[in-house]
Amino acid sequence: MAAGGTGSAKSFNFKVVLLGEGAVGKTSVVLRYVENKFNEKHISTLQASFLTKKLNIGGKRVNLAIWDTAGQERFHALGPIYYRDSNGAILVYDITDEDSFQKVKNWVKELRKMLGNDIALCIAGNKIDLEKERHVPVADAESYAASVGAKHFHTTAKLNKGIEEMFLDLSKRMIERQSEDTHKSTTTSRSNRTKTVTIVDDEPEQPSGGGCCGSS
C-alpha cells in the first residue's frame, strides 16, 4: 500500500498513534476529543481503535487519523507494526500511577529509536481531576518531556480539559514538520518506489471580492 496522501498546500493527512498503559484513560481522552455531538451514528459507536478528527487551522484542513495501539505487555512486540509511518504520537500516563509514567518513558525511547525525530510527541498527564492523589511530580514530567523534545500537557478526560490544546499543538508541529519536508516528496514511499499521479488544477482562481452572479 502507498504511504502517500500526506497532504497538499491546503490539506494535511496525519497519522497519530495513541500509546499508554491500560487504565490510564487514553481511550477516554481520544473519545472526548473526537466526539461529535451532532452525529447520532457517531455517538452510538463503541469502537475506539481507529478514530478520525477534522480540523481547520488557519485555512488549512487537517485530517487526523488516530490509531489506538495495543499497549498490553503481551502485545508489546507488535508496537512497530502500529507506529510505522506515523506523524505524531500522544503518550498518556495517569498522574496517580508512577509506573504508567515509567511506561511512557519506555515508549518514548522506543519511538525515538525506531522513528528518530520524524515524529512529533505529546505527553499527557491524565486525570488531573485527581490532583490530590498525584504521584508523578509536575516538574519531573515537564522536565522529562522537554529533555526528549516532547510537549507535556495536563489533561482530564472527565472534565474535558487540556485535550483540545494538546491535539492543536501536535497538529501545529506536524504541519511545521511537513512544511520543512517539502523538499522531500509529499508521497514518501514505504518502499521508496511508490508513484503518484499528479493533477494540475486548471480551473482559474477567481479574484476575491463580489460574486459574478448578482444578488438574489
Residue among 56, 86, 75 at smallest CA distance from 190? 86
Q: Considering only residues 25, 29, 71, 170, which one is a binding residue for another protein as defined by CB under 8 A?
A: 71
Q: Does 139 bind another protein (CB under 8 A)?
A: no
Q: Considering only residues 113, 183, 184, 193, which one is a binding residue for another protein as defined by CB under 8 A?
A: 193
Residue among 35, 53, 29 at smallest CA distance from 174? 53
Residue among 18, 25, 20 at smallest CA distance from 50? 18
Number of residues that bind another protein (CB under 8 A): 74
Burial zone of 118 (CB within 10 Å; 0-12 exposed, 13-18 middle, 19+ buried): middle
Per-position x/- string for 151-180, each x denoting binding to another protein as judged by CB under 8 A, each - no binding:
-------------x---x---x--------
> Under rule CB under 8 A, which residues in 37-66 are in contact with another protein?
37-39, 45-50, 52-59, 61, 63, 65
Q: Does 107 bind another protein (CB under 8 A)?
A: no
Amino acid making up residue 95: I
Residue with Cβ nearer another protein (4 or 130): 4
Inter-residue contact 162 to 128 (CB < 8 Å): yes
Residue with Cβ nearer another protein (61 or 134): 61
Q: Does 215 bind another protein (CB under 8 A)?
A: yes
Per-position x/- string for 85-104, each x denoting binding to another protein as judged by CB under 8 A, each - no binding:
x-------------------
Sign for the CA dihedral angle at 165, 152, 31, 54 comes to positive
Find the largest Cα–Cα distance for the chain.
66
Q: Considering only residues 116, 139, 180, 201, which one is a binding residue for another protein as defined by CB under 8 A?
A: 201
